[in-house]
Chains A and B, each alone.
Chain A
Amino acid sequence: MSDILSIKNLSVVYKTSNRETSALKSININFRSHEIAAIVGESGSGKSTMGLAIMKLISDPGKITSGEVIYHGDQDIDIMGLDAGELRRFRWKTISMVFQASMNSLNPVTRVRDQFMDTFAAHSMKQDDKMIDFLLEHSGLSNNVKNMYPNQLSGGMKQRVNIALALACNPKILIADEPTTALDVVVQREILEYLASLKNKLNLTIIFITHDISLASMVADRMFIFYDGRVIESGDTEEIINNPLHPYTKKLLSLIISLKSVNNLKFYMPDKKNYNKSNSGCSYYNNCPIRSSACLKYDYHEIINNNHMVKCINVDKVINNV
């Protein structure tokens, strides 16, 4: 599979009067055509910032301080270099995003059909009822939803409409930011199935952002584990869940509540938030069970095999289960 989008050395900083947050610290990711890639990490790890940066939607007090995002279309385009007019033609048509918690900001006084029409208009597309029917059908919603208002829809229906709106201009890449958070498990699964079905039906590349590693494992071909603005481990989903190497990834996997978990979950103290502040070295240092002084020295990463990358200097200890 060829690459469709490459993030290179991307850094984003939020600078407010009383503090400066490095939300992304020089991240590198190559997304492949026609894959579902999951971005997994706890809140505050920089997942949404990455999604917004890809769309060049970072605004005050945020700033992209370095890096590029290349879309590999007929020719390579550096999204960071696009001007306002070019961005208008690019967003939604090439890359589209379902924003975090956006299903609850659907305009309550606008019927579903008109929400689509507004989206078409905003992106200078033909106002096409057939396209709406097509998108609703793929989302499993019946045609009469067109004439409904958002408050007549259940949470799951709203999110389907919301996702369908992001697909209105037939994008190549869809970024879905926590599309199932705040939904019940039953509806969460429906939405997940819907997203998974889109990959094949619409030939999409999907970047699925979530804090839940077990959800990610159900739809993603590859996973990127975020911690404090860095990708600390990445690889094929199977490889990550069967052979996790970073102590943080291991912790995420050990904390899954499943129907089988009984009394065997470890009691963890809450993680300390005071991450390692220096720009080199490992952010997980303060919370890591296998840390050593070398961890603070350099920004280390190791390729275990073609697809499996881990940023842990003590990876040998993990492998030998020390």
Chain B
Amino acid sequence: MFNSNESEFLKFSNVTKIFKSGHLKTYALDSVSFSLMENEILSVVGESGSGKSTLGLIAIAMETYNSGNVYFEGREIKKLKRKELRKFREKSQMIFQDPYESLNPFNSIYTSVSTPLYGFHSKMPYDEKRKSVIKILNDVGLMPATEYIDEFPTKLSGGQRQRASIARSFILNPKFIVADEPTSMLDASSVAEILTLLKKMKEQYKYSMLYISHDIASAHYISDRMVVMNLGRIIESGSSDEIVNHPAHPYTKKLIDSVPKLGEKLDNIENVNFIPKYINGGMKGCTYSNICPIARDKCKTERPELFDLGNNHYVACFYPLI
């Protein structure tokens, strides 16, 4: 298990989040437990609808939950006092998927990036604010910062905008980052730029991060450890290398097989299968049992719990692939 010297930075314990609309219930999170260690990047991987954004919002105290507990540095988030919550918000930042939305097109880069300073350090003199913005712009590779600081977002490319939005997230020197699909709106070539930047930034600004993505290849690239989600449940977790090289859950294998590979030919395809839209309305069995190629009767009626395959590799499957 976890080395006891390492401290648990964030911990989810049996967290359940249900969205109701009319008589329809969606288990966005269905009894989810995991820990994020101090100074760690942990990836949360799964297709859209699997509950990743809900998890991220709860982690950053921007969404409530129905049951279970969320602990931040050992303290339950629900029980934080107002002042403590303010401190928590200062030290936690979110990077969103769409840099076009997160930067106001009518504000200069300076205005957007410095906003958190005005919120949390309103007394800081203007010159100092400007200096911090210049420093952070240089750190995110918008160099020389003086060429960018008074520009408007419309003048920047998608990758540059996401850098500016990352600059804003880092201006308060946060300890905790939730990056929700930060590259999914970007060109393939900018994805590598942004991920490499986030890795580089971590050496400079020590922080813990939840990296949320539908793309297991980018998750593997950026993080040492990952959890894989399917319809509100964590179905596999472990070291990224281990999971990518030895997936134990059929769903994880599907995610891996779907990663595009340079030069791999998709010729002569006869059957074009597709996966219909499912939600978890409180499933008894495995959430993947509807489409799993190896599901048996038991999978439809009994919930598989996560169990240890060794080396901190956990899977929730009655018939794991390894």
A263 to B199: give the CA distance in the assembly, Å.
10
A193 lies within 8 A of chain B by Cβ: yes
Q: Give the residues in chain A near B255, CB-CB below 8 Å.
A: 185-186
Min CB gap B244→A, angstroms: 5
Chain A residues near B254 (CB-CB < 8 A): 186
Shortest Cβ gap from A256 to chain B (Å): 6
Chain B, Cβ-Cβ closest to A193: B269
- Report the bound CA distance from A270 to B137 in whole Å: 12
What chain B residues lie within 8 Å of A259 (beta carbons)?
Answer: 216-217, 220, 244, 256, 259
B interface bracket (residues with beta carbon within 8 Å of A): 35 or more
With the chains together, A140 CA to B266 CA distance in Å? 16
B262 within 8 A of A: yes
A224-246: CB near B (< 8 Å → 1, else 0) gives 00000000000001100110000
Q: Mark B39-81, 1 if CB is under 8 A from A, else 0.
A: 0000000011000000000000000000000000000000000
Interface membership of B312, Cβ < 8 A? no
* Residue of B199, B267, B271 ringed by the most chain A CB atoms within 10 A: B267
**A291 to B215 Cα, complex, angstroms:** 35
Indicate if the CB atoms of B272 and A190 lie closer than 8 Å.
yes
Are B260 and A185 touching (Cβ within 8 A)?
yes
Write the nearest CB–CB distance from B279 to chain A, whole angstroms: 10
Q: Does B22 contact A (CB under 8 A)?
A: no
With the chains together, A252 CA to B254 CA distance in Å? 26
B287 at the interface (CB under 8 A from A): no
Q: Does more than half of chain B's interface fall in helix, strand or loop, or is it mixed?
A: loop
Decide if A258 touches B217 in the complex (CB within 8 Å): yes
The size of the chain A interface, using a CB distance under 8 A, is: 59
**Are A211 and B221 neighbours in the complex by a CB distance under 8 Å?**
no
Contact call B187/A192, Cβ cutoff below 8 A = no
**Candidates A154, A212, A270; contact of B157 at CB < 8 Å:** A270
Please, what's the 1-or-0 string for B70-113, where 1 marks a CB less than 8 Å from any CB in chain A? Answer: 00000000000000000000000000000000000000000000
Residues of B within 8 A of A261 (CB): 192, 217, 221
Residues of B within 8 A of A215 (CB): 188, 260
| Cβ-defined contact, B47 with A186, below 8 A | yes
Give residues of chain A (148-198) contacting chain B, Cβ–Cβ below 8 Å: 152-157, 160, 182, 184-190, 192-194, 196-197
Q: B residues touching A (Cβ–Cβ < 8 Å)?
A: 47-48, 141-143, 155-160, 163, 184-185, 187-193, 195-197, 199-200, 214-218, 220-221, 244, 254-277
Nearest 3 A/B pairs, CB to CB: A154-B277, A140-B272, A212-B188
A contacts, CB < 8 Å to B = 42-44, 138-141, 152-157, 160, 182, 184-190, 192-194, 196-197, 200, 211-215, 217-219, 237-238, 241-242, 251-253, 255-259, 261-263, 265-271, 273
